[in-house]
Structure 1
Amino acid sequence: MDSGWCLFDTAIGPCGIAWGEQALVGVQLPEGSAAATRACMRRRFPRLPECAAPARVAAIVARVQRWLEGGHDAMLDVALDMSAVPEFHQRVYQVTRAIAPGHTLSYGEVAARIGEPGAARAVGQALGRNPFAPIVPCHRVLAARTGAGGFSADGGVATKLRLLEIERAQLGSEPGLFD
């Protein structure tokens, strides 16, 4: 069977990755401990076995590990299975994936780029349901004029800011914003 999931160690804690025959079906940021991350992966992927990653997935794991140690890798070539992802979310994720490491956009800017000005809250909700963090780098989307905004991963906004720090994102001219 060429599908499954596994945990892997990173500089920020144990992450999870799930794959199918053609693409990744999910990525999971740390949940505080390996046991908590494993439990989350079992809930998210109850039909997939926990097993060793095949070489094609192990190569992606290595890239994520390097990125979480400070390497810049946009991972745009990593195939993601979005067949279960709503179309609006797919559009949000496409724009979000295009944000270069160390750079950010606001929720409103993402909404405008998908042709839905005024849909900043819906963008935030889509990012809160991101099944591919950090490969879909939702941490690079911030609230306009009010700072970081929310973050649904374990640790909340502190984790979001840590990911931006790893990428060496620069503070913008407005307090609480990054360029």
Structure 2
Amino acid sequence: MGDTRQMHYCLIDTDLGWFGLAWSPHGITRAYLPGDPVHSLRERFDRFASETAHWPAFIDEARQLILGYARGEAVCFDTLPLDLSAVSDFHRRVYADILQLGRGETTTYGEIARRLGDVGLSRAVGQAMGSNPIPLIIPCHRVLASGGKTGGFSAPGGGTSKMRMLALEGYEDPQAAQATFDF
């Protein structure tokens, strides 16, 4: 993640709870999704970055987009610079693939593996999702298991949080719709 003396973070109080962002001079390096108390977020970030109320323009833009997202607005994170220098080449390829997904659009671990050239990489794709350092902005919540099942989600709240995020984006879970008809 580069020189920790150049790493900073800020916390954002959203309609969904406290969200955290860390950055280097090159871009966003880490995000934490809502679900943990604010003091826990600070403890996590304090290990590798310093909190600041002075941030670059791209963090101001990210803050506004995250606040809008939490209110259910259609936002796009495409213009934000990401610093993935601490991430493996394979994980960067996986993240580049899912960055192509639009709001409410989903894919599966297997489809990503196929697009990367080997369906046998599905488990490795899942590991990349589980270690995504910038969830929401790198939309790992849009990746489902085969058959449209939720699959894992390492953020607080697990699969429930994943489905809540997808619902904010207008995604309708076909399994949940079937369950409402009780058949």
* Structure 1 and Structure 2 fold alike (TM over 0.5): yes
The superposition leaves residues 70-113 of structure 1 with CA deviations (integer Å, 9 ceiling, x where unpaired) of 12223112110111100110011011111101110011011112
Shift of 1:67: 1.4
Shift of 1:11: 1.9
Could you say if the C-alpha distance between residues 115 and 53 of structure 1 is closer, same or farther in structure 2, counting changes exceeding 3 Å? farther
1:67 aligns with 2:69: yes
Partner of 1:119, secondary structure, is helix
1:8 aligns with 2:9: no
Q: 1 CA distance for matches of 2:65 and 2:72? A: 11
Identical amino acids, percent of aligned pairs: 36
Identify the residue that residue 49 of structure 1 maps to in structure 2.
Answer: 50
Identify the residue that residue 80 of structure 1 maps to in structure 2.
Answer: 82
Shift of 1:171: 3.1
1:33 aligns with 2:33: no
Identify the residue that residue 170 of structure 2 maps to in structure 1.
Answer: 168
Q: 1 CA distance for matches of 2:91 and 2:106? A: 18
Q: 1 CA distance for matches of 2:77 and 2:148? A: 29
Q: Report which of the two has the higher share of helix.
A: 2
Q: 2 CA distance for matches of 1:114 and 1:123? A: 10
Preserved contact between residue 17 and residue 26 of structure 1 (Cα < 8 Å): yes
Supply the AA of the counterpart residue of 1:71.
E
Structure 2 residue runs without a partner (length 5+):
178-183
Structure 1 residue runs without a partner (length 5+):
none
The superposition leaves residues 115-161 of structure 1 with CA deviations (integer Å, 9 ceiling, x where unpaired) of 23221111111010000011001000000126100100011111101
Partner of 1:148, secondary structure, is coil
Identify the residue that residue 25 of structure 2 maps to in structure 1.
Answer: 21
* TM-score normalised by the chain length of structure 1: 0.89
Match of 1:150 among 142, 149, 152: 152
Partner of 1:75, secondary structure, is coil
Partner of 1:19, secondary structure, is strand
Partner of 1:14, secondary structure, is strand
Shift of 1:68: 2.0
Q: 2 CA distance for matches of 1:85 and 1:102? A: 26
Preserved contact between residue 65 and residue 76 of structure 2 (Cα < 8 Å): no
Preserved contact between residue 5 and residue 51 of structure 1 (Cα < 8 Å): yes
Shift of 1:59: 1.8
Supply the AA of the counterpart residue of 1:52.
A
What's the C-alpha RMSD, in Å, of the aligned pairs?
1.8
Equivalent runs, 1:90-109 vs 2, <5 Å: 90-109=92-111
Shift of 1:3: 4.2
Identify the residue that residue 124 of structure 1 maps to in structure 2.
Answer: 126
* Count of residues paired in the alignment: 172
Shift of 1:176: 6.0
**Larger Rg: 1 or 2?**
2
